[in-house]
Amino acid sequence: MRTGRLALENVRAIVMLMALACGTSALAQGSAAPASTARDIAKEERNRTFVIDFYQRVFNKHDLKAAEDLVAEGYIQHNPHFPTGRAAFIEILAKRFKQNPEAHARIVRSAVDGDLVFLHTHSLANPADRGRAIVNIFRVADGKIVEHWDVVQPVPEKSENGNTMF
């Protein structure tokens, strides 16, 4: 009987330790940041404003000089269809804007978390285009765009659920 009771107490102790570990993990992943990594909301807002301005100038005004000024030379591109680097980024945009001089994107919403800025956009090649829903994620460092990820989805003619993508 003593062995059974000891085993049961060990199981209880293990369960309690696991619950404590899971609770600590959940707290670490929650919205409350530890004091040592407090968010700098003012800096985050400057990053968000910077990226919105960059996006408007480059993707809506087709200002390639702004891309040269605002994108770091060592720009890292995570979209597997495009090369990395500022020069490649500008070259691709120049070709796209030449092929689609009316291309533009409407920023639907934006968010920021530290040095990452998220833009949800409706991108159109021309006025007749249904467009694409795009979520762009830009990392900002030292006043430059240094890294980019995106998720792209074509806007369908019909929605199965009746909801807009925007």
User: What count of Cα atoms within 13 Å lies in the side-chain half-sphere of residue 115?
Assistant: 11
Residues 57 and 138 in one domain: yes
Whether residue 12 is found in the same domain as residue 43: no
Strand bridging mode 71-77 / 104-113: unpaired
Residues 26 and 43 in one domain: no
More confident residue, 132 or 22: 132
My answer on whether 45 and 99 are in the same domain is yes
51 and 91, same domain (yes or no): yes
Q: Which domain holds residue 2?
A: 1-31
Report yes or no on 93 lying in a domain: yes
CATH, residue 91:
3.10.450.50
36-40, long-range: CB < 8 A, 24+ apart:
39/114
What's residue 158's pLDDT?
Answer: 94
* pLDDT above 90 coverage of the chain, percent: 77
Residues 11, 67 within the same domain: no
**Which amino acid does the sequence have at 17?**
L
Residue 35: its pLDDT value, please? Answer: 54
**Tens-place pLDDT, residues 74-106:** 999 999 999 999 999 999 999 999 999 999 999
Q: What percent of the chain has pLDDT over 70?
A: 78
Q: 31-65, pLDDT tens digit by residue?
A: 454 556 899 999 999 999 999 999 999 999 999 99
pLDDT band at 18 (very low <50, low <70, confident <90, very high): very low
Whole-prediction pTM value? 0.77
- 72 and 111 belong to one structural domain: yes
In the chain, the number of structural domains is 2
Q: Do the domain assignments include residue 131?
A: yes
